[in-house]
C-alpha cells in the first residue's frame, strides 16, 4: 500500500508526502578564501485545508497564500430550533415531554460548544502551518542566496585554476621551443635519456586537463577545503562530514555552562547574611577569627584598620577587640576561657526515675591504738561472702562487706585522713557516714578531736563506736560526757548521734554496729544512677613496679567499664583492667564500689576527682589544663602570710582560716580567744582546728584543704609533716611569744584585704580641637585648666561627666617638641594609648595612685 493510501485508526487517510524534498550540494564561503560544501535540502510547501485529502501540492511558493491570522469567525452554535407554540399549548405538554425537550436543548448546546472548540483548534493549527510555511519560504530564500554566492565563488576559482593550467602549458611549450633552437652538444650518455625533461614538461598540462575532466562540478573546492582544514588544526568527525549545522552540544559543555551561570547568579544575587554564634577564647588570631565567622581574612583586617588597629592575619587579638569585630560583622559572640574545658565534665543532675539505691560509704576514724584496725578486722570477719581475711583490702584501703541482711556496705581505710580531707577540699566527698572509734578506757584524745572536726567539716553524720568495753577501767559514760565538750550529743543523752558499745577483740555488738549503719543509710536514702558515665574520687594512688600507675577509685555515680577513657586529677588514661577489693578482675564497677584502675599515664593525687570522658582528645585537653594550673600554682607558692592572703583576696574571702597547735591546752585556748577578737566587719578569724601536740601530716592536709595557715606555739612539725608542707606549699609559722603571733596574724589579715589605694588628681585639661596625627591616629589639642599634666601618670577622659577612657598618655607635645609635663594655662597636644574616639569638649584628668598599707 502506498503512503497516500494508508489509513489511520479513525478511518481517515494519512497526510502523505510525494517527493517533497529536493536535495543538492552548494559550497559555503568563509573569510580568507575558505569554503566547504554543504548538503542542502529544499522542501516543497504544502497547504492544508479543512476537508482536503493529504497529497503533495506542486504549487510554486509564489502562489502560496500570504501568512496571516486565520480569518475564522467562531460563533456560538445556535440551539436546536424550537417550534414556537402558542402559550396556550404549553399547558398541554406532559412533564416527560418538557424534560425531553430540555434534555434535547442541553445536548444541542453541548454539541455546539464541541464544534466551536474543534473549529478554534483547527484554526490555530492552520495559523501555525501558515506561519511555518512562511518561515520555510524565508529560510529557502536565504539558502538560495547563499548557494548562488557559493556557486559564483566556485566558478571563479575554477576559472582561475584553468587559467593557471593554460599558463603552465604555454610556459612548457616556450621552454621546449627554446631548447630546440640551441645547438645540440655531443652527449656522452645514451640519446634516449636526453629528451626526458621536455617530455615531462609537455605531459604536465595534459595530466592536469585529464584530472579536471574526471572531477565532478564541485571538485575544484577540495584543495581549498584541505588547506582550510590544515589551517584550522584539529580534524573532528563533525568537520570531516561537514555537518556543523546538525552538531549537538556535549553534556560536559552543558554542565560547565550551568555551573558558570549559577556562579554568576550567586555573585550577583546575594541572600540575607546569616548570623552565627562565634566562640572566641581569651586569645585568638585574626585568621582563626575569620574562619570561625566564615568571613574573609582581608575583610577582618579591613575592619580592624577602620578601628585603628593595625593587625596581620597571624596577629593575636584579645577578647574585647574580637568582640568588636564579631559585632561589626553582625554575628553573636560566645566568650570562653581556658577553664571552660572542665565545663560539662561531671555531667548534669540525674532524673529521679533513673536513680536506684546504692550501698553507703563508711569511713572509720579515731585515735591511734583505740582499736580502729581491730574493729575493721572484726567487721570484715562478719562478711558472709568472703571466707578469707586477707585479700587486698588493706592494700587498696577500701572494700565492701555483705551483711547478713543481704545489704552491702563500703568501708574506707584512710590512715591520717589525708584522702578524706582532700576529697572535702575539692567538694567531692564520697563519704556518707563516719564511724568515730573511741576507747572506753582512754576517752577523748587529740586525734579523736581532729576526727570530729573533719566529720563536721564534711557535713556527714557520725556514729560513735565506744570500743574496748571488755577492758578493766572502761567507762563509756565518761566518753559520752567528754563528747559533749565538742558538741557531739549521743542518743542516750537525748541527742541525735548514735553510739554503740562494742568490743573488737571479742566481736561483741558488731552486728548492732552494722545494723546502726544500715539504719542510718536508710535515713539518708542514698541513691545513684548507674546508667551513665562513671564519676568518683581517687582514694589513693601509687606507682606499682610491674603495673605502672595504679589508682584506687570509689565510684560515686555511673558505671566504669574496661576501655573507658577517663581523667583523674591532672592525669588521664584508658582503663586496661579493673580489680575489685578481693583481687579479682571485673569488667565493670557500679556506684559505691571501690576498684583498682590500671591504665593511667601518671600518678594522680589522693582525693582528686575522677570522671569518664567521651574521647581521648577531651581527656588530653582537661589534663593539660590541670597540669598547667599545677605548674602555675607551684611557681607562685606563697612564701609568707602577706602573699598568701593577697592571693586569697582574689576570691574575696571574708574569713581568715588558721590551724593552731600549742604545747598545752591553756595556751591553745588563749591563742584561739585572742585571734577571734581581731576581726572587724570586713574580715574575721576562723580557727579550723585548735589542739595540743606537734604539727602532723593531718594538720598539713587540713590546712591545704581550706587554704589555711598553720601556727605552732612552742611546738614543731615532724619530718613527714615538714616534707608535705614544702611539697604542697603550705606556710608554717612558729612562735614563742603570743603578742608577736597576734601582730603577724593582724598583718596577714590586712594583706588579705589588700593595700589601700589613694588616688590624687594632679591636673586637668579641656580638649578644644581634634586633628589627625599620622600613625598615631587622632590627637587632641588641649588647654591645661588645672594643675600639671605629666606624661608618666595615668589619665582618664570624661564626656558629660561619664568616663569613656582610662589609661595612659601616649604622646605629650608642646608645638613640635615632646615634653614630660605641661603646666596650667598652656596649650599642648596629646594622644592616648589605644584610644582615638576623642571629641571636642571632652575633659582630660591626669591622676596618680598611691598604695598605702591597710591597718585594721
pLDDT band at residue 80, thresholds of 50, 70 and 90?
Answer: very low
Cell numbers of 590, please? 557500679
Rounded to whole angstroms, the Cα distance separating 793 from 848 reads 6
Count other Cβ atoms within 10 Å, centred on residue 498.
20
CA R_g for the chain: 55
Rounded to whole angstroms, the Cα distance separating 786 from 780 reads 17
* Residue among 73, 82, 74, 72 nearest 108 (CA): 82
Mean pLDDT of the chain: 76
Rounded to whole angstroms, the Cα distance separating 233 from 297 reads 46
Containing 721, the helix (H) or strand (E) segment is helix 719-728
Residue 34 has pLDDT above 90, yes or no: no
Rounded to whole angstroms, the Cα distance separating 794 from 789 reads 10
Encode pLDDT of 161-179 as tens digits.
Answer: 888 888 888 888 888 888 7
Encode pLDDT of 327-371 as tens digits.
Answer: 999 898 888 776 767 777 777 777 888 888 888 888 888 877 777
pLDDT at 163: 86
Q: How far is CA 305 from the centre of its chain?
A: 28
Residue 221 has pLDDT above 60, yes or no: no
pLDDT at 20: 60
**What pairing do the DSSP bridges indicate for beta strands 398-402 and 408-412?**
antiparallel
Rounded to whole angstroms, the Cα distance separating 447 from 302 reads 69
Count other Cβ atoms within 10 Å, centred on residue 323.
15
Rounded to whole angstroms, the Cα distance separating 37 from 153 reads 12
* Residue among 200, 46, 63 nearest 130 (CA): 46
Q: pLDDT: is 581 or 823 the higher one?
A: 823
Encode pLDDT of 258-311 as tens digits.
Answer: 888 887 776 554 556 678 888 888 888 999 899 989 889 999 999 999 988 888
Adjacent-strand bridge partners of 39: 25
Containing 281, the helix (H) or strand (E) segment is none
pLDDT band at residue 183, thresholds of 50, 70 and 90?
Answer: low
Q: Are 382 and 399 in contact (CB under 8 A)?
A: no
**C-alpha distances out from residue 511 to 20, 342, 383, 505, 542, Å:** 119, 44, 11, 14, 34
pLDDT at 374: 80
Local structure of 108: helix, strand or coil? helix
Rounded to whole angstroms, the Cα distance separating 757 from 177 reads 129
Interior CA angle at 801 toward 799 and 806, to 5°?
A: 65
- CB-based burial label for 126 (10 Å; 0-12, 13-18, 19+): middle
Out of 1.10.10, 1.10.3470, 1.10.150, 1.10.3910, the CATH code matching 277-336 is: 1.10.10
Cell numbers of 514, please? 552494722
Residue with cell 568582640: 323
Local structure of 169: helix, strand or coil? helix
Encode pLDDT of 597-656 as tens digits.
Answer: 999 988 887 778 889 998 888 888 888 888 888 777 766 544 444 554 554 444 444 688
Q: What share of the chain is helix, strand, coil (3-state, %, to 5)?
A: 40, 25, 35
pLDDT band at residue 422, thresholds of 50, 70 and 90?
Answer: very low
- CB-based burial label for 447 (10 Å; 0-12, 13-18, 19+): buried
Q: Where are the domains of the chain?
A: 21-51+108-167+209-235, 277-336, 641-753, 757-852
* Residue among 466, 465, 462 nearest 434 (CA): 462
Encode pLDDT of 690-723 as tens digits.
Answer: 887 789 888 888 888 888 889 998 889 888 888 8
Helices (H) and strands (E) in the chain, counts: 21, 35
Residue 255 has pLDDT above 80, yes or no: yes
Q: Is 32 left (phi over 0), alpha (psi -120 to 50) or beta?
A: left
Residue 733 makes CB contacts below 8 A (sequence gap 6+) with 641, 709, 710, 711, 712, 741, 744
Q: Which of 45-49, 69-73, 436-440, 795-799 has the lowest mean pLDDT?
A: 69-73
Across 592-670, where does the E strand assignment appear?
Answer: 594-600, 609-613, 655-662
Cell numbers of 760, please? 590624687
pLDDT at 224: 46
Q: Are 658 and 708 in contact (CB under 8 A)?
A: yes
pLDDT at 61: 43
Adjacent-strand bridge partners of 763: 787, 846
* Residue among 706, 693, 697, 748 nearest 727 (CA): 697
Rounded to whole angstroms, the Cα distance separating 560 from 551 reads 14
Rounded to whole angstroms, the Cα distance separating 347 from 609 reads 13
Residue with cell 582561475: 160
**What pairing do the DSSP bridges indicate for beta strands 794-799 and 802-814?**
antiparallel
Q: Are 132 and 125 in contact (CB under 8 A)?
A: no
Q: Average pLDDT, stretch 713-740?
A: 87
- Domain 277-336 matches domain 641-753 at the CATH topology level: no
What angle do helix axes 665-676 and 738-753 make, rounded to 10 degrees?
Answer: 40
Q: How far is CA 181 from the centre of its chain?
A: 104
Local structure of 55: helix, strand or coil? coil
Containing 171, the helix (H) or strand (E) segment is helix 95-181
Encode pLDDT of 740-761 as tens digits.
Answer: 888 888 888 887 777 777 888 8
Q: Average pLDDT, stretch 816-830?
A: 89
- Report CA dihedral (333, 339, 344, 347) to the nearest 10 degrees: -150
pLDDT band at residue 573, thresholds of 50, 70 and 90?
Answer: very high
**C-alpha distances out from residue 67 to 17, 53, 129, Å:** 22, 21, 9
pLDDT at 46: 63
Adjacent-strand bridge partners of 786: 764
Residue 79 has pLDDT above 50, yes or no: no
Q: Are 830 and 302 in contact (CB under 8 A)?
A: no
- Report CA dihedral (838, 842, 843, 844) to the nearest 10 degrees: 0
* Residue among 3, 4, 17, 20 nearest 136 (CA): 20
Q: Which of 85-94, 484-493, 592-601, 827-836 has the lowest mean pLDDT?
A: 85-94
Count other Cβ atoms within 10 Å, centred on residue 747.
18
Residue 586 makes CB contacts below 8 A (sequence gap 6+) with 578, 579, 580, 595
Rounded to whole angstroms, the Cα distance separating 296 from 359 reads 59
Residue 574 has pLDDT above 90, yes or no: yes
Encode pLDDT of 520-551 as tens digits.
Answer: 888 888 888 888 889 888 877 777 777 888 88
Count other Cβ atoms within 10 Å, centred on residue 235.
10
Q: Which of 25-34, 243-252, 442-451, 492-501 has the lowest mean pLDDT?
A: 243-252
Q: Are 499 and 492 in contact (CB under 8 A)?
A: yes
Residue with cell 571501690: 594
pLDDT at 759: 84
pLDDT band at residue 19, thresholds of 50, 70 and 90?
Answer: low
* Residue among 533, 595, 593, 592 nearest 564 (CA): 533
Domain 641-753 class in CATH: alpha beta
Interior CA angle at 214 toward 35 and 165, to 5°?
A: 70
pLDDT at 715: 87
CATH of domain 757-852: 2.40.30.10
Q: Average pLDDT, stretch 413-426?
A: 44
Rounded to whole angstroms, the Cα distance separating 445 from 368 reads 9
Query: What does the DSSP assignment read for 183-197?
Result: PPPPPSS-GGGTTHH
Residue 136 has pLDDT above 50, yes or no: yes
Amino acid at each position: 500500500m502506498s503512503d497516500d493510501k494508508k489509513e489511520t485508526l479513525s478511518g481517515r487517510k494519512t497526510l502523505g508526502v510525494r517527493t517533497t524534498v529536493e536535495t543538492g550540494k552548494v559550497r559555503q564561503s568563509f573569510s580568507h578564501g575558505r569554503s566547504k560544501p554543504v548538503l542542502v535540502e529544499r522542501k516543497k510547501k504544502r497547504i492544508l485545508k479543512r476537508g482536503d485529502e493529504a497529497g503533495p501540492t506542486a504549487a510554486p511558493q509564489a502562489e502560496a497564500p500570504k501568512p496571516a491570522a486565520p480569518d475564522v469567525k467562531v460563533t456560538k452554535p445556535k440551539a436546536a430550533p424550537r417550534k414556537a407554540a402558542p402559550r396556550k399549548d404549553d399547558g398541554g405538554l406532559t412533564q416527560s415531554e418538557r424534560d425531553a425537550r430540555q434534555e434535547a436543548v442541553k445536548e444541542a448546546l453541548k454539541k455546539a460548544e464541541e464544534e466551536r472548540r474543534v473549529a478554534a483548534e483547527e484554526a490555530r493549527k492552520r495559523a501555525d502551518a501558515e506561519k511555518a510555511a512562511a518561515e520555510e519560504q524565508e529560510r529557502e530564500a536565504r539558502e538560495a542566496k547563499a548557494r548562488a554566492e557559493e556557486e559564483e565563488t566556485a566558478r571563479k576559482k575554477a576559472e582561475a585554476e584553468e587559467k593557471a593550467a593554460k599558463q603552465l602549458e604555454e610556459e612548457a611549450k616556450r621552454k621546449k621551443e627554446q631548447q630546440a633552437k640551441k645547438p645540440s652538444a655531443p652527449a656522452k650518455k645514451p640519446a634516449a635519456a636526453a629528451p626526458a625533461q621536455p617530455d615531462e614538461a609537455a605531459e604536465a598540462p595534459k595530466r592536469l586537463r585529464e584530472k579536471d575532466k574526471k572531477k565532478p562540478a564541485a571538485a575544484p573546492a577540495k584543495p581549498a577545503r584541505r588547506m582550510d582544514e590544515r589551517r584550522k588544526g584539529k580534524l573532528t568527525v563533525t568537520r570531516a562530514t561537514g555537518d556543523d549545522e546538525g552538531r549537538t552540544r556535549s553534556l560536559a559543555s552543558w554542565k560547565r555552562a550551568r555551573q558558570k551561570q549559577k556562579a554568576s547568579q550567586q555573585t550577583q544575587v546575594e541572600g540575607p547574611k546569616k548570623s552565627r554564634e562565634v566562640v572566641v577564647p581569651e586569645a585568638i588570631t585574626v585568621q582563626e577569627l575569620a574562619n570561625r565567622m566564615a568571613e574573609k581574612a582581608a575583610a577582618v583586617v579591613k575592619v580592624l584598620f577602620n578601628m585603628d588597629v593595625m593587625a596581620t592575619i597571624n596577629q593575636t587579638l584579645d577578647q574585647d577587640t574580637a568582640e568588636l569585630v564579631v559585632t561589626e560583622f553582625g554575628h553573636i559572640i560566645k566568650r570562653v576561657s581556658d577553664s571552660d574545658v572542665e565545663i560539662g565534665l561531671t555531667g548534669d543532675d540525674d532524673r529521679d526515675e533513673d536513680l536506684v539505691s546504692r550501698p553507703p560509704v563508711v569511713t572509720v576514724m579515731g585515735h591511734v591504738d583505740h582499736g580502729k584496725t581491730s574493729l575493721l578486722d572484726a567487721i570484715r570477719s562478719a562478711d558472709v561472702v568472703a571466707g578469707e581475711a586477707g585479700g587486698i583490702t588493706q592494700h587498696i584501703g577500701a572494700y565492701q562487706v555483705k551483711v547478713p541482711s543481704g545489704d552491702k556496705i563500703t568501708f574506707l581505710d584512710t590512715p591520717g585522713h589525708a584522702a578524706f580531707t582532700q576529697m572535702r577540699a575539692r567538694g567531692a566527698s564520697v563519704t556518707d557516714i563516719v564511724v568515730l572509734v573511741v576507747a572506753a578506757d582512754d576517752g577523748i584524745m587529740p586525734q579523736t578531736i581532729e576526727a570530729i572536726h573533719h566529720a563536721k567539716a564534711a557535713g556527714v553524720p557520725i556514729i560513735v563506736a565506744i570500743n574496748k568495753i571488755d577492758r578493766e577501767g572502761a567507762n563509756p559514760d565518761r566518753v559520752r560526757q567528754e563528747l559533749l565538750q565538742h558538741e557531739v550529743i549521743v542518743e542516750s543523752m537525748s541527742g541525735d548521734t548514735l553510739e554503740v558499745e562494742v568490743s573488737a577483740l571479742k566481736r561483741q555488738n558488731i552486728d548492732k554496729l552494722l545494723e546502726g549503719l544500715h539504719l542510718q543509710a536508710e535515713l539518708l536514702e542514698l541513691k545513684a544512677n548507674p546508667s551513665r558515665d562513671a564519676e568518683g574520687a581517687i582514694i589513693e594512688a601509687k606507682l606499682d613496679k610491674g603495673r605502672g600507675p595504679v589508682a584506687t577509685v570509689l565510684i560515686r555515680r555511673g558505671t566504669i567499664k574496661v576501655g573507658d577513657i577517663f581523667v583523674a586529677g591532672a592525669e588521664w588514661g584508658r582503663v586496661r583492667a579493673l580489680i575489685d577489693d578481693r583481687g579479682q578482675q571485673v569488667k565493670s564497677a557500679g556506684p559505691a564500689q571501690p576498684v583498682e584502675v590500671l591504665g593511667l599515664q601518671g600518678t594522680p593525687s589522693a582525693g582528686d576527682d575522677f570522671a569518664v570522658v567521651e574521647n581521648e582528645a577531651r581527656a588530653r585537653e582537661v589534663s593539660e589544663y590541670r597540669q598547667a594550673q599545677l605548674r602555675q600554682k607551684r611557681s607562685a607558692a606563697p612564701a609568707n602570710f602577706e602573699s598568701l592572703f593577697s592571693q586569697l583576696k582574689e576570691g574575696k574571702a571574708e574569713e581568715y582560716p588558721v590551724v593552731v597547735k600549742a604545747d598545752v591546752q591553756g595556751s591553745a585556748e588563749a591563742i584561739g580567744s585572742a585571734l577571734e577578737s581581731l576581726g572587724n566587719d570586713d574580715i574575721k578569724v576562723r580557727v579550723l582546728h585548735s589542739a595540743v601536740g606537734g604539727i602532723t601530716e593531718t594538720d598539713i592536709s587540713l590546712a591545704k584543704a581550706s587554704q589555711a595557715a598553720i601556727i605552732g606555739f612552742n611546738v614543731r612539725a615532724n619530718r613527714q609533716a615538714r616534707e608535705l608542707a614544702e611539697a604542697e606549699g603550705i606556710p608554717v609559722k612558729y612562735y614563742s611569744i603570743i603578742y608577736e603571733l597576734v601582730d603577724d596574724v593582724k598583718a596577714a589579715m590586712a594583706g588579705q584585704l589588700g593595700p589601700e589605694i589613694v588616688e590624687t588628681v594632679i591636673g586637668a585639661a579641656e580638649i578644644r580641637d581634634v586633628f589627625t596625627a599620622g600613625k598615631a591616629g587622632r590627637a587632641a589639642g588641649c588647654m591645661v585648666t588645672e594643675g600639671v599634666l605629666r606624661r608618666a601618670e595615668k589619665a582618664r577622659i570624661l564626656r558629660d561627666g561619664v568616663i569613656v577612657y582610662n589609661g595612659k598618655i601616649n604622646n605629650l607635645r608642646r608645638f613640635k617638641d615632646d615634653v614630660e609635663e605641661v603646666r596650667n594655662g598652656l596649650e599642648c597636644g596629646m594622644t592616648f594609648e589605644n584610644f582615638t574616639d576623642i571629641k571636642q569638649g571632652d575633659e582630660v584628668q591626669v591622676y596618680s595612685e598611691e598604695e598605702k598599707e591597710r591597718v585594721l
